[in-house]
């Protein structure tokens, strides 16, 4: 047997967290494996910044906290550790341990779509997120055209899709009682021609 062909040992969540907390770059973790995250484009960064600005103003003096980019979320039922673009938790934030860097109970998760992550964000990642009892709404924002989708958990645990297209539209985020104006979310973003 070729010793170089042996598979790498699977990491425990504790191994991952020890590595991640001292790493220079962020990585996600699932089922014993670490997945390096890539940098984001200018449109992606602008959309995240704009959404952060708009939501932080609306959530001021309310019992909700907004985290951007660096708040790790653990999907406890599946074991996924990930970094959503934006996370809101309403009420008391629950963390995985005393480091207070791994959130367990997000109310709203927002992902800004890129070519390399769109299929994962829409598919497998959303499958994981749906297992979070606390999650009431999942929002996908296109980075290069004025288009936002919101998936809202219904009382029967089905998810209802709401879509907004065009800079003149406003998307209501029921889970946190906020509204986002697409013209503000796409401020200074070079959009693709329709």
Does residue 92 fall inside a structural domain? Answer: yes
Domain that holds residue 65: 40-185
Residue 29 domain flag: no
Calpha distance 71→103 (Å, rounded):
7
- The SS3 assignment for 126 reads helix
Residue 19 lies in a domain: no
Residue 157 domain flag: yes
- Tell me, yes or no, whether 24 lies in a domain: no
The CATH number for 116's domain is 3.90.1570.10
What phi and psi, each to the nearest 5 degrees, are found at residue 184?
-75, -40
Domain count, the chain: 1
Determine the Cα–Cα distance for residues 179 and 17; give it in Å rounded to an integer: 35
Residue 119 forms part of a structural domain: yes
Q: What is the pTM of this model?
A: 0.92
Residue 12 included in any domain: no
Burial (CB count <10 Å: 0-12, 13-18, 19+), residue 104 = middle
Write down the pLDDT at residue 193.
Answer: 62
16-71 pLDDT, tens per residue? 999 999 998 899 999 999 998 887 899 999 999 999 999 999 999 999 999 998 99
Structural domain contains residue 137: yes
Half-sphere exposure of residue 191: CA atoms within 13 angstroms, side-chain side: 17
């Amino acid at each position: 047997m070729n010793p170089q062909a042996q598979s790498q040992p699977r990491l425990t969540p504790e191994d991952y967290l020890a590595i991640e907390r001292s790493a220079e770059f962020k990585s996600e973790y699932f089922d014993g494996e670490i997945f390096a995250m890539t940098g984001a484009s200018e449109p992606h960064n602008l959309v995240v910044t704009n959404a952060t600005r708009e939501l932080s103003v609306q959530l001021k003096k309310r019992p909700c906290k907004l985290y951007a980019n660096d708040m790790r979320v653990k999907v406890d039922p599946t074991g996924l550790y990930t970094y959503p673009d934006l996370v809101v938790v309403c009420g008391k934030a629950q963390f995985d341990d005393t480091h207070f860097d791994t959130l367990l109970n997000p109310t709203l998760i927002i992902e800004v779509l890129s070519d390399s992550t769109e299929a994962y964000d829409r598919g497998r990642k959303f499958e994981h997120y749906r297992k979070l009892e606390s999650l009431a709404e999942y929002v996908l924002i296109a980075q290069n055209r004025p288009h936002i989708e919101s998936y809202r958990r219904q009382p029967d645990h089905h998810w209802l899709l709401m879509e907004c297209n065009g800079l003149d539209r406003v998307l209501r985020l029921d889970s946190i009682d906020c509204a986002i104006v697409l013209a503000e979310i796409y401020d200074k973003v070079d959009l693709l021609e329709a």
